[in-house]
Amino acid sequence: MLYLVPTPIGNLEDMTFRAIRILKESDIILAEDTRTSAPLLKHFGIEKKVFAHHQHNEHKAVAEIIRFLKEGQTISLISDAGTPAISDPGFLLVREAIKEGIEVQCLPGPTAFVPALVSSGLPNDRFCFEGFLPVKKGRQTRLKQLVEEKRTMIFYESPHRLLKTIEEFITYFGAERPASISRELSKLYEETIRGTLAELKLHFENNPIKGEFVFCVAGAE
């Protein structure tokens, strides 16, 4: 059995009882970064063998993990924060496990885009998750494709690219497009800034850009 176990995106209180139990019952835990996950596992008294499973070894590691799963081991995958395979390693393993007839379960739990979308106040009956935009190659093509998108769009963005991204969104979607930026969700300095893209640009030109960000943009009318 392969479990994908979400872990908190900032606030340890968001760890679920079931996540703790499944991790304690696993034979092996795969972590995106074993050093990042060590304090979390220690905090919840989870003492298990932990192996690294990150984007650099994901392709190579899959075959060996599948072998362990076929032997009947229970393996749990965690990422540094949030739900594994959501802008994090995991997809290749899930796809291969399904192909091999292994049972896969993803526990419900923390992920950054759902609270950002819900607290944005933007329509959420239909939305599209865009994750991180390509940094260079393919970025402008992706943005062009999104100009006609009618659903609310959700992006992950790093602090040092945020302002540039707001400016690009203004170019493609227009300065008056409603949007929302949530930072530090579930943490001490959590805040959600809502307004037009022009208003968000003004805000972040005049305030420090620190922390982790989810960017929601209304779809085209």
83 binds ligand SAM (CB under 6 A): yes
Using alpha carbons only, how large is the chain's radius of gyration in Å?
A: 19
**Which of 88, 133, 143, 181 touches ligand SAM (CB under 6 A)?**
88
Q: Which of 186, 195, 196, 199 binds ligand SAM (CB under 6 A)?
A: 186
Q: What are phi and psi of 20, to 5 degrees?
A: -65, -45
Q: 74 or 192, CB closer to ligand SAM?
A: 192
Enumerate residues 1-40 that contact ligand SAM by CB under 6 A: 9-10
Residue 187 touching ligand SAM (CB under 6 A): yes
AA letter at 188: L
Partners of 193 in the β-ladder? 181
Q: Rounded CA gap, 169 and 177, in Å?
A: 9
**For residues 76 and 109, what is the distance between their CA atoms, to the nearest angstrom?**
14
Q: What does DSSP assign to residue 78?
A: E
Q: How far apart are CA 92 and CA 89, in angstroms?
A: 8
| Choice from 157, 169, 179, 219 touching ligand SAM (CB under 6 A) | 157
Name the one range near ligand SAM by CB under 6 A: 96-104, 106-114, 122-130, 140-148. 106-114
Q: Which residues on adjacent β-strands are paired with residue 178?
A: 196
Question: Residue of minimal CB distance from ligand SAM?
Answer: 82
By beta-carbon proximity to ligand SAM, the closer residue of 134 and 174 is 134
**Spatial distance between the Cα atoms of 191 and 102, rounded to a whole number of angstroms:** 41
Token readout for 113 is 């885009």
Cα gap 212→181, rounded to integer Å: 10
The correct pick among 87, 124, 140, 196 for binding ligand SAM (CB under 6 A) is 87
Residue 123 or 159 with smaller CB distance to ligand SAM: 159
Q: Is 79 in the site for ligand SAM (CB under 6 A)?
A: yes
Segment holding 105, helix H or strand E: strand 104-106
Judged by CB under 6 A, which stretch of 12-20, 43-51, 65-73, 211-219 contacts ligand SAM? 211-219
For ligand SAM, the binding residues (CB under 6 A) are: 9-10, 79, 81-83, 86-88, 111-113, 156-158, 182-187, 212-214
